[in-house]
Amino acid sequence: MTIPERTLIVIPAFNESASIASVVAEVRDAVPGATILVVDDGSADATTEVARRAGARVARLPYNLGVGGAMRVGFRYAVDHDFRQVVQVDADGQHDPRHVPALLDGLVGADIVIGARFAGAGSYRATGPRRWAMRLLSAVLSRAAGTRLDDTTSGFKACGPKAIALFADQMPAEYLGDTVEALVIALRHACRVVQLPVEMRQRMAGQPSHGPVKSAVYLGRALIALFFAYARPVVAVRSGGNSA
């Protein structure tokens, strides 16, 4: 396995005081030696305090930026402190940290390894417009990546040095920006993206977003996100700082 000392586990957390302590503990058990960074995305609850007590480093955003903003903090921190691998794990407990070593192993031949739900393991099923949206995103991005990517909106991802430098500079804060558009940016910067089948768990806290109207809106937003991700110019990475 790749040296865990240079591995940063980034956990973006927004009002997750109910589940963050057990997620941090699980990650430490699964990947001993890795550094755990919880990015508190402007929570109103005790997420920061609970995560600190659980032994994680905590970067606290002064207000809510969304997953893209929280993750750019993680990638920027990784660049500043010389981490070679970054793994994103959700704070709600749906990502099983026991898959992290396998994701890290995948980085030997790739810049980004996605923990994917639909690729065999687990029993997640989406229906209606949400399913069409996911199929379309999967088809377009698989083609661009030259390999099958079944779960393009998965937040469970491992990134190597090239992707870390890229995302520390360019990580969109918009809706679907941290998943779909981030993948498009990575692929357009010639990053190699592969997937690894993983089983997702039920969330420990919080509700999944479903319903026919919501999933139709999701389809529309996914199409817009995908269109603009490709319509935007490719920007060279500034190693000195974030673009703004």
Partner 1 sequence: MTLATYILGILAALATLGVVIELLRRRRLRERHAIWWLGAGTLALVIGVFPQVLAWAASLIGITAPTNLVFFVSIAILVLVSIQHSSELTELEEKTRTLAERVAILELDTRRESPQDRD
* Residue 10 β-bridge partners: 37, 88
Residue 98 within binding range of partner 1, rule CB under 8 A: no
- Judged by CB under 8 A, which of 18, 21, 46, 61 binds partner 1? 61
Residue 24 within binding range of partner 1, rule CB under 8 A: no
Q: What type of residue sits at position 138?
A: S
* Residue 159 β-bridge partners: 86, 112
Q: Under rule CB under 8 A, how many of the chain's residues touch partner 1?
A: 22
Element (H, E) at 59: strand 57-60
What single-letter DSSP state applies at residue 92?
Answer: T
Closest approach, Cβ 243 to partner 1, in A, equals: 8
Residue 65 within binding range of partner 1, rule CB under 8 A: yes
Residue 6 within binding range of partner 1, rule CB under 8 A: no
x-or-dash string of contact with partner 1, 28-57, rule CB under 8 A: -----------x------------x--x-x
CA distance readout (Å), 201 to 90, 117, 166, 208, 215: 11, 10, 30, 12, 21
Q: Footprint of partner 1 on residues 117-156 (CB under 8 A)?
A: none
**Between 88 and 152, CB nearer to partner 1:** 88
Contact segment (CB under 8 A) with partner 1 among 5-13, 28-36, 70-78, 230-238 equals: 70-78
* Residue 158 β-bridge partners: 87, 113
What single-letter DSSP state applies at residue 191?
Answer: -
Separation CA 54–CA 87 (nearest Å):
19
| Other CB atoms within 10 Å distance of the CB of residue 211 | 11
Residue 204 within binding range of partner 1, rule CB under 8 A: no
Task: Return residues touching partner 1 (CB under 8 A).
Answer: 39, 52, 55, 57-63, 65, 69, 72-73, 76-77, 80, 173, 241-244
